[in-house]
Structures are given as C-alpha cells and as structure tokens.
Chains A and B, each alone.
Chain A
C-alpha cells in the first residue's frame, strides 16, 4: 500500500522490519496521503477511536468491582459509586461515554450520507461501519442491563421479547436467550460475558474499517477521486493528527461537561430502583440513541410487523450504496438530494422525539408518518432523485476552486461555465 518502499534507517530497525514490517506500517500511517480539504466533519473517526478506547479502559476497571449476580449487581454498582476510589468518576465516564460514542457515530454516519462516502469504491467501508454500529447497539443494550435497575430489567424484557415475534420458534429462542423462563440471573451473567466481549470484536472491525479505508483513501467534501500523493493531498501526520487532536479536545469538553455537571441527564431515574419482576415502570423508554427505532417499532399495530420494520430500518442501510443511483458523491453538487438529506435528518429527530413520548394520540400519528417517510427516503426518493437530478458541475481537482481565487464552490461553478 505504501507509495514508496520504506527502509528503516537503523540496522536494528531494518533487521526487525524484515521479519515483521511494523515500521513499514507506521510509516504508511504517518505518510498516508489525505485530501487537503477535509473539514471538521471528518474528525469523528478519530473521536470514535477515542470513545472505544475510553469504554474499554473504564469497562475493564468497572469489571474489577462489579458483581454479575441478580442479587448483588445493583448493590455492587452503588458500591462502585460510593466506596470505590474514584468509582463514581469511572462509572460516569463509562455510562456517559456510551452516549458520547453514539453522538459521534451518528455524526459520522450522517457525514457519510451527506458527502456520499458510502458510494463506490467505499461500499465495504460502509458495510463494516454498519456492522460496528450494530455491535455498538448490542453492547450498549447489554451494558444498560448490568446495573439491574428497573429500566435495565424491563428494557431487557421488552427487547428480548422482540424475538418472540418470530413465527414457530420465537418462544424457544426467547427462553434460550434468557436461560430461564423470564429475564433472570442467567440472563444477567451471559449479558455481562457478552458485554465484555463485544468491544474487542468492535476493535477488530475498526482495524478492518481503517484497512478498507486506506485502499481507496478518504472521500472528501468535494467528493471527487484524487490522485495521491499529489498537490491535492497532505500527509496524515502532522496535518490530520493535529486537526483530529483539536476536534477531540472540543469533544472532550462536552464529554466532561456531561460527566461532571449532568451525569444523569441522559439516563433514567427509574434505573436507580432495583429490578422488580412484579412491577413494570409506568413509562418504559430506551436510551436516547435507540429512540428512533423504538418509535418505528411502536408505530406498527402488529407485533411481528413492528419488529420487522424496526430491524428493516437498520438493515436497509446495508444496501444503501446500491439504492443511491447518483454518480456524484458530494451533496454540495446535488441540489435536490441535499434538501431530502435535511428532511431525513428532521425525520429521524422527530422519530427520536416521539419514541420518548407515549404511543398514543398525535405522537402515534407522527411516528407513523415518520416511519413511512424513513422508508420512502431510501426505497423511492434516493433511487429516483439519482436518475432525474441535474447535478451542478463538479471541479476536476480539489485545488481548482482554491487556485481560481476562492474556496467557494459556487465561484468554481461560474468559472466552469465560462469554460
């Protein structure tokens, strides 16, 4: 992959590198040619890596004090909060870290949607990314069960019962997932085991995600193919590393704001009540990052239909690269798609909002409209717009709009028209 063959300067380095080319890898990562016009929406890959490592490190520490048993889990979490040195800090970083992780991943995904980063030749990067997203949701869900509060217990009950909608084998699968006849101690212990496993699976997929990225190279805000290395690229280090570091600093301020000033604002107070299989809380809501899917689930008056649509809402993203028929990647040059992109954002936010509200009255109507539009966007709007949209002229290189006197894309367009 390296553009020029790397040879270590020292004799020892050469000896080692001939046997295991780690130094070549480091050289590739340092010199990796990156489009020079990457904006701050491109810094979330680095931020997400930081989030994953934060969750792994704080998680390993929490596992040293946590007890995965239905009778002891709730008390052990309180023990972490009250007795363990800095336990409150580590737990609040871990619980808010999950929310920060999802915040970053949603920005990362919508950046890809706006700039067409999922399109050829980057489909595999996109699909691996979605697999990471699915694993993140599984990890977050199981992690939320571990404190064994009321929301833990009833969230686990509702989500595992989704599988009972499967015809014929549904009930057997649900019992198998539980290891009991309801969510109980066996469920808790296996969730703990899997919750510990999944982050390392994610780490492996992250390596593949980056590997797949380094084959075609980064997409960029203009969305055109670039020669690398060329005057359109800069080496990853120090140009991108310093930009990523600055963005990470700003992100950490928001992160720390939640941890120190509003550590419970994203959680639910019912989870500070120990799990009680006899009483369901009046209003069950999942964590905020799952609300749009929860709204889709509840919008369907049929059990199996709701489950199919909810999973469909995620799995439709896997075929997105083939649903989008436009040759132009970046929305900067797609005047029609650009508007539908923002409507989709509003749609997902509305679904998230109604997911937190009771499933009745106006909220149910909104959820249904939102659900229909969500699928309409991917199944109808995306393929059709790609065919009929008249895209704006795309510059031949990243340098072009800059060298012609302005970084403003509309100026570049005018220049194009003169030619």
Chain B
C-alpha cells in the first residue's frame, strides 16, 4: 500500500466507522425502551409479598395460595412423609437436593414451594403419581414428598420461593 492510498482510505474509513458506531448506539438507545416496556411493570413488582395464615392446616394436609399469579403449595407433612422424603438416595434424583435444603430447619414439616411444574408450567396435582407427592397431568412428571422431580420430562425440582415465618402461625412469601 503506498502512502497516498493509505491516507485517503483511512480518512473515509474513520468517518464511516464513527458514523455507523454513533448510529448503532443511537438505534440501540431507541430500541431498548421499546423492548424493556414488555418486562414486568411497577404494578406487577408491587405484588411481591403475600402473608398466609397456616394455623388451620392439619398434618398431612396442604393449601394453595396465589403469589405473583402463581400457585404456592403449603404442605404440612407428617413425620412418616418427612422420613420417606429423607430416605431417598441423592443418586436417585435427576436434580439432587436434600430434603433438608428445601425446608427451614426446625420447621421440617412445612414444605413451601411454587406449585408450578418445571417442565412447561402446569399446576401438578397433589397426592398423585408414583412417588406419593405430586403428578403433573400435562406431560406426566412425577414429584416426590419433597417436591423433587423423580420421573418425566421436567428438568428440575419444584422451586422454593423466598419465604419466612413471621410468627408461629404466619408465613410471608416473597
């Protein structure tokens, strides 16, 4: 490349490159609000917590509440159910998690989890399936007494939301 050719191409290249760069940044700045407006808005985010009274739930029973538009299962497990959930070997689990990791220590009887199948989002039915836990009727996923996936197309255990015990009879989800 001789000197004069290099000079002319460099100047043009610089102008083109800077123009395209500034143009691309400008375009991106215009497009981003149009994309981000589809994310959850302030009103949706405001629905972030729900308090639930659990004083009426007998051992072995469960209730379902709505949190952020999704059902949350609150199950008060019996001692036998807890023992059964803890007797499972981690190697038998597609998504290995100990039952202890899925409940609050000292509150082992309370299983609080999103009642949403991790396959495609249906609500599983309780006390159904091959593992006495939950069964999703949509595509046949079986969950155990800890809400862990055991059989079927779902890839993960049912999700544990952020929650805390406000007092002995109240759980705050979110």
Q: Are B68 and A180 in contact (CB under 8 A)?
A: yes
Closest to B140 in A: A359
A181 on interface, CB distance cutoff 8 Å: yes
Q: Is the CB–CB distance between A186 and B41 below 8 Å?
A: yes
In the assembled complex, the Cα of A182 lies from the Cα of B114 at a distance in Å of 12
Q: Is the CB of A184 within 8 A of B38?
A: no
Q: How many residues of B contact A (CB 8 A)?
A: 27
A198 at the interface (CB under 8 A from B): no
Stretch from A90-98, A272-280, A345-353, A396-404 forming part of the interface with B: A272-280
Contact B68 A182, beta carbon cutoff 8 Å: yes
Residues of A within 8 Å of B152, CB to CB, are: 301
Q: Which of A157, A160, A176, A359 contacts B122 (CB 8 A)?
A: A157
CA distance A306 to B154 in the complex (A): 11
Rounded to whole angstroms, the CA-CA distance of A175 and B45 in the bound complex is 12
> Would you give the 0/1 interface string for B117-128, flagging 1 where the beta carbon is closer than 8 Å to chain A?
001111100000
In the complex where A158-B122, A303-B153 touch, is A277 in contact with B71 (Cβ < 8 A)?
Answer: yes
Closest residue of chain A to B40 (Cβ to Cβ) is: A180
Contact, CB under 8 Å: A360 / B140: yes
Contact with A along B68-99 (1 / 0, CB 8 A): 11110000000000000000000000000000
Cβ distance A269 to chain B, nearest Cβ, rounded Å: 17
Q: How far is it, in angstroms, between the C-alpha of A23 and the C-alpha of B141 when the chains are bound?
A: 62
Interface centre among A160, A177, A178 (most CB of B within 10 A): A178
Q: CA A277 – CA B122 in complex, angstroms?
A: 9
Q: Does A256 contact B (CB under 8 A)?
A: no
What is the distance, in angstroms, from B12's C-beta to the closest C-beta of chain A? Answer: 35
Do A301 and B122 form a contact, CB below 8 Å, given A181-B68, A181-B70, A277-B66? Answer: no
B156 to nearest A CB, angstroms?
Answer: 9
* Residues in B whose Cβ lies below 8 Å from that of A164: 121
Task: Determine how close the nearest CB of chain A comes to the CB of B157; give it in whole angstroms.
Answer: 14
Q: Are B41 and A302 in contact (CB under 8 A)?
A: no
Is B4 engaged at the interface, CB distance under 8 Å to the other chain? no
Q: Is B139 an interface position by the 8 A CB rule?
A: yes
Give bound CA distance, A158 to B123, whole Å. 11
A181→B69 contact, CB < 8 A: yes
Query: How far, in angstroms, from A8 to B40 measured CA to CA in the complex?
Result: 58
Confirm or deny: B62 has a beta carbon within 8 angstroms of a beta carbon on chain A.
no
- Cα A179 to Cα B137 in complex, Å, equals 26
Q: Are A306 and B66 in contact (CB under 8 A)?
A: no
Known pairs A175-B40, A182-B69, A303-B153; A161 contacts B139 (CB<8 A): no
Indicate if A354 sits at the interface (CB-CB under 8 A).
Answer: no
A180-B40, A182-B70, A277-B69 known; A303 vs B119 contact (CB < 8 Å): yes
B119 partner residues in chain A, CB cutoff 8 A: 161, 303
Which residues of the partner chain B approach A179 to less than 8 Å between Cβ atoms?
A: 38-41, 44
| Residues in chain A within 8 A of chain B (CB atoms) | 154, 157-158, 160-162, 164, 175-184, 186, 190, 277-284, 298, 300-304, 306, 358-360
Query: B-side interface residues toward A, CB under 8 Å?
Result: 35, 38-41, 44, 64, 66, 68-71, 116, 119-123, 136-140, 152-155
Q: List 21 A-B contacts (CB under 8 A).
A: A157-B121, A158-B122, A158-B138, A160-B121, A164-B121, A176-B39, A178-B40, A179-B41, A179-B44, A180-B40, A181-B68, A181-B69, A182-B69, A278-B123, A281-B137, A284-B122, A284-B137, A284-B138, A302-B155, A303-B155, A360-B140
**Sample of 13 more A-B contacts, CB < 8 Å, known A179-B41, A301-B152:** A154-B138, A161-B119, A176-B35, A179-B39, A179-B40, A181-B40, A181-B70, A183-B69, A278-B64, A280-B138, A303-B120, A359-B140, A360-B140
